[in-house]
């Protein structure tokens, strides 16, 4: 005879994530308990906490959740599309919050400074994201703009889209940034061709392209350092 598992409602209040958070604070909860609050409910066989533990085991821990796909999460028994999307949305918000620092307080003095602003966010992207970092005359960051999502090519990354926010904010220069989901930041031939086109367009508009960074998994390549953008 199988032993029936207790639901969260049947557990003592001290073992329920919501009740514990209300009494002791949200920071006292484990990763699985935090996810359980997002999941709201488990299945007939397991509590939300147990379901959350299965999710963490499946993806390889909390730090890997932002890199998980909807299909991967839904392969966990008991996790439908709504719950899977909730977890992905929470992971994306966490990544954005952690990495969209107060740009206005940052001055770029090296490629590493620029890469550091976006590395943790962009290294987890499953598709290529092209962004532009906007700078004033003292290389102080004025903002960062998302330009396109998808494989880098001339149709997606058009000069007018890249330089429109730079013109709007009266920027002196920009740094182009995109990621390689493979984790390898080695520039492709398309990367080089698009960069040359954008550098030339910037010169015509009086906005210097200081660099183009390709973000990999914990690594990056600077076009400026590699001599792919003339000094």
pLDDT, tens digit, 9 for 90 and up, residues 164-198: 999 999 999 999 999 999 999 999 999 999 999 99
Q: Where are the domains of the chain?
A: 8-98, 102-222
pLDDT at 120: 85
Token couple for 167 = 């013109």
pLDDT at 1: 46
Task: Please state which CATH class domain 102-222 belongs to.
Answer: alpha beta
In whole angstroms, what is the distance from residue 230 CA to residue 46 CA? 60
Domain 8-98 adopts which CATH fold? DNA polymerase; domain 1 (1.10.150)
Whole-structure pTM value: 0.60
């Amino acid at each position: 005879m199988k032993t029936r598992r207790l639901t969260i409602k049947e557990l003592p209040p001290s073992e329920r994530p919501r009740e514990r958070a209300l009494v002791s604070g949200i920071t006292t909860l484990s990763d699985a308990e935090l996810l359980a609050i997002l999941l709201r409910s488990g299945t007939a066989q397991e509590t939300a906490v147990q379901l959350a533990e299965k999710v963490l085991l499946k993806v390889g821990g909390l730090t890997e959740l932002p890199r998980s796909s909807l299909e991967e999460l839904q392969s966990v028994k008991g996790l439908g599309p709504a719950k899977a999307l909730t977890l992905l949305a929470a992971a994306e918000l966490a990544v954005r919050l952690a990495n969209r620092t107060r740009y206005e307080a940052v001055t770029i003095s090296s490629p590493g400074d620029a890469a550091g602003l976006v590395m943790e966010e962009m290294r987890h992207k499953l598709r290529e994201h092209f962004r532009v970092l906007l700078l004033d005359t003292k290389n102080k960051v004025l903002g960062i703009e998302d330009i396109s999502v998808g494989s880098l090519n001339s149709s997606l990354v058009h000069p007018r889209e890249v330089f429109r926010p730079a013109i709007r904010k009266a920027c002196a220069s920009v740094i182009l940034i995109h990621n390689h989901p493979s984790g390898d930041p080695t520039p492709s031939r398309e990367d080089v061709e698009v960069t040359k086109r954008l550098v030339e367009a910037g010169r015509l508009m009086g906005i210097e392209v200081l660099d183009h960074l390709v973000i990999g998994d914990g690594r990056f390549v600077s076009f400026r350092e590699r001599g792919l953008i003339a000094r």
